[in-house]
Amino acid sequence: MFIDVAITLLKIAFVFGLVLNIAGILGWAERKQSAVMQDRIGANRADILGLRLFGLFHPIADIVKVITKEDWIPPGGDKFLHTLAPFLALFTALAVFAVIPFGDTLHIAGRDIPLVIADLNVGILFVIAFGSLGIYSVVLAGWSSDNKYSLLGSMRAAAQVISYELALALSVVGVIMAYGSVELDDIARAQGQYVLGIIPYWGVIAQPLGFLIFFAAAMAETKRTPFDLPECESEIIGYFTEYSGFKFLAFWMGEFIEVIAVAGVVTTLYFGGWQVPFIDSQGFFVPGLFTIPLPHLLVVVIQVTAFILKVCFFCWFMLLVRWTLPRFRYDQLMGFGWKFLLPLAFLNVILSGVIFMSFEG
């Protein structure tokens, strides 16, 4: 019992430590990437003992700056809810990682250790549920601030998230049809199959349209450009207008953690999760020809590394989109969700059902 608890705590420390560090680096990466795209230098001033490391010390400088700022609550605001909202944003974003598998089963010292914090048999439903709960932090932040601009931003956020959650949830139905499970670990493992003996049966192969719908809707859930109407950095209607200090940092970190969560779910559902083509628990192989055995620990390290690299790629891609596309108008945003993505998601479910039933027949 003690060993099981210790193993679970180690997995929590590894996952959350990795996520929080990537979130901190994303703050630097977004500045640097936007600077490169706009032919600027970007963050490069913060240094330690004269060492700048391309501006990598800026996230540390940001943390020191916000911690030393005054924590101000509007006189007419609700102090409890004003304090609760940013930490609720962090909690709901971090909770998603509890069910995302970051590797296959580790066999060590006679134990089989699944590389996922909580191996729930309702993994997809857990992700959708906690992704939906995140909107409460935004609504509470806008309402408790006693600021009409903050309230307007939170109302925009609520309308946006509700509009895109339907398409997001429906896009996942095709994945469930393809792999016959709602457990993320089962879905990742099922993507180790091969089509025609050489093409990995990843979710993007089984559900190409579902992937595009899911990725677009998930980006809208993160409330970032081109779906950043709840924040509107160029206007004064962000739901966090009345936040400063550590609470603002919590919202800021929560946004980057949501980006990582979207990248992790996309990787798990559509890009094989921890799967590496032609590498399984036995080692490297070519279907129908030969197998080169590899040490089990090496295979696990390769798979975990592959998962992390895939997540980092999608984080980079979302930063690229954020600095490439202009913001939607409000009517365009709502129309895209209700009139385009949602009907397309329904069509994807119907086509998937027809195709899979035809193959079974």
DSSP 90-118: HHHHHHGGGS---SS-EEETTEEE-SSS-
Distance CA 63, CA 66 (A): 5
Residue written as token pair 């549920």:
129
Mean pLDDT of 14-26: 92
Distance CA 276, CA 278 (A): 6
pLDDT band at residue 162 under the 50/70/90 scheme: confident
- Amino acid 99: pLDDT: 94
- Amino acid 236: pLDDT: 62
> Which pLDDT tens digit goes with each residue over 93-151?
999 999 999 999 888 878 889 999 988 888 899 999 988 888 899 999 999 998 888 89
Whether the per-residue pLDDT at 53 is higher than 90: the answer is no
Domain boundaries, the chain: 63-360
pLDDT band at residue 361 under the 50/70/90 scheme: very low
Lowest mean pLDDT among 244-258, 274-288, 304-318: 274-288
Neighbouring CB atoms inside 10 A of 170's CB total 21
- Amino acid 304: pLDDT: 95
Distance between the two ends of the chain, CA-based, in angstroms?
Answer: 47
> Which pLDDT tens digit goes with each residue over 64-99?
888 888 888 999 889 999 999 999 999 999 999 999
Distant-in-sequence, close-in-space partners of 204: CB < 8 Å, separation ≥ 6: 211, 270, 271
- Amino acid 84: pLDDT: 93
- Average pLDDT over the chain reads 89
